[in-house]
Chains A and B, each alone.
Chain A
Amino acid sequence: MPMTSDEELMLAVGKGDLNAFGEIVLRHQHSAWNIAYRFLGNETDAEDVVQEAFLKLLDAAEQYRPIALFRTYLHCIVTRLCLDWVAKKQPIYTNKLPEAIDPAHTASEKLVSVERDLAVRKVLYKLPPNQRMVIVLKYYGDLGYREIAATMEVTEKAVERLLARGRASLEEYLRNFLGK
């Protein structure tokens, strides 16, 4: 039996089907969470934003029309909420890191990996919000230029420029880790 598409699920949510909404949350919580956490830098803010994004989705479900990919639609909501969030509030950076997930790594490899993760997170917050969001969507949301452009409501050319500037800054900040 073919899996129900996101768009079909959303239309069901629009008719008041909360089970369909639950399925949407389960399918997309991981990508929404990764974007928000990478961008905002702490779990509490990320949880608030992602939860708000899903609830906004629920509120707007009745008006939803499948004219674009659902994923883009959701990412657009998450992105806007994240950008609004940092516009209102300076992100609180925490040193809390996720567990190292590969048990095959040696202790020194783990240390390097933890150090690198920390460094990447730190330098990401040094970038202006738009550049940071483009990097996050590209590497942690796994989106192409077209999707990023649709999500951020900018042109593909603007995405290319923001990515180039963001990468140039990151290259400068992460010089010590490049080539390790």
Chain B
Amino acid sequence: MHCEQVRKKLNAYMDVELSEATMEKIKIHLDNCQDCSGALTRLQSLINVLEEVSTLEVPKDFANRVLAHAYERSKGAQSMQRKHVSVYRWWSPKLLTAQTAAAAAVLVIGLAIGGVMGWDTWHNQGIQSVGKSQMAQVEPTVIYSLDYLTDAPKGSLADTYLTLASATNGWER
């Protein structure tokens, strides 16, 4: 093995991440090459420095804080699930059928009431129109209760008012 090949694999060699055969070849090279074995020594001292760095302790109560959040989340999820279930129940097929039937019944009742009321209105309109035709034959002064003025002497204030009202409304006298 050449130095260049060994240098490329030196990291994996130190981490024992190579096949046994390759490890053996590199070992033989290192035993005979000062430069490469020097590189390995430097690498090893770096690893020592990295590994000697003191361990970090997890903050006190960290696990409790995580669990408190977990319980909160779990409660939230349960209430969401309940909401989901209630919405689902509202739209469940059975209830949907019952709701449709109820809505149809309300619609039919509404239409029936509307029909009756409409018939009544139409019928009254008939009566009213009959009344109108009958009223057309009545003197306007009678309709507007001014007939008591018809006997007023000519030239009186009442006669003048009646003459004016008749001229304005086109009544015959």
Q: Cβ of B57 < 8 Å from any Cβ of A?
A: yes
Is the pair B56, A22 in contact by a Cβ cutoff of 8 Å?
no
Q: Cβ of A174 < 8 Å from any Cβ of B?
A: yes
> Hey, which chain A residues are within 8 Å of B10, CB to CB?
164
Is the pair A139, B50 in contact by a Cβ cutoff of 8 Å?
yes
Q: Cβ of A73 < 8 Å from any Cβ of B?
A: no
Is the pair B63, A29 in contact by a Cβ cutoff of 8 Å?
yes
Cβ proximity bits A85-116 to B, threshold 8 Å, 1 near / 0 not: 00000000000011111000000000001001
Is the pair A54, B66 in contact by a Cβ cutoff of 8 Å?
yes
Is the pair A98, B57 in contact by a Cβ cutoff of 8 Å?
yes
> Hey, which chain B residues are within 8 Å of A21, CB to CB?
67, 70
Interface size class of A (residues with CB under 8 A): 35 or more
Given the known inter-chain contacts A58-B73, A120-B53, A179-B45, please indicate yes or no for A160 contacting B59, CB distance below 8 A.
no
Bound-state Cα–Cα, A104 to B47, Å: 23
**Taking the nearest CB of chain B, how far is it from the CB of A28, in angstroms?**
10
Of B8, B51, B67, B74, which is within 8 A of A25 by CB? B67
Q: Cβ of B71 < 8 Å from any Cβ of A?
A: yes
Q: Chain A CB within 10 Å — which of B42, B56, B69 has the most? A: B56
Is the pair A34, B45 in contact by a Cβ cutoff of 8 Å?
no
Bound-state Cα–Cα, A18 to B11, Å: 42
Chief secondary structure at chain A's binding surface: helix
> Hey, which chain B residues are within 8 Å of A178, CB to CB?
42, 45-46, 49
- Name which residue of chain A comes closest to B45, CB basis: A178
Bound-state Cα–Cα, A163 to B47, Å: 11
Q: Cβ of A15 < 8 Å from any Cβ of B?
A: no
Chain B residues bordering chain A, tally (CB within 8 A): 32
Q: Cβ of A51 < 8 Å from any Cβ of B?
A: yes
> Hey, which chain B residues are within 8 Å of A18, CB to CB?
67, 70-71, 74
Is the pair A174, B46 in contact by a Cβ cutoff of 8 Å?
yes
> Hey, which chain A residues are within 8 Å of B46, CB to CB?
167, 170-171, 174, 178
> Hey, which chain A residues are within 8 Å of B69, CB to CB?
51, 55
Is the pair A101, B63 in contact by a Cβ cutoff of 8 Å?
no
- Name which residue of chain B comes closest to A159, CB basis: B17
> Hey, which chain B residues are within 8 Å of A54, CB to CB?
66, 70
> Hey, which chain A residues are within 8 Å of B173, CB to CB?
none
Q: Cβ of B127 < 8 Å from any Cβ of A?
A: no
Cβ proximity bits B14-37 to A, threshold 8 Å, 1 near / 0 not: 010100000000000000000000
- Name which residue of chain B comes closest to A26, CB basis: B63
Of B8, B47, B56, which is within 8 A of A34 by CB? B56
Q: Which 10 A-B pairs have the closest CB atoms?
A: A164-B11, A33-B58, A178-B45, A139-B50, A25-B63, A145-B17, A54-B66, A120-B53, A171-B46, A29-B58
Kindly list 11 other residue pairs between chains A and B, CB separation below 8 angstroms, not including A29-B62, A38-B56, A113-B54.
Answer: A21-B70, A25-B67, A33-B62, A55-B73, A58-B74, A100-B54, A120-B49, A135-B50, A163-B15, A174-B46, A178-B42
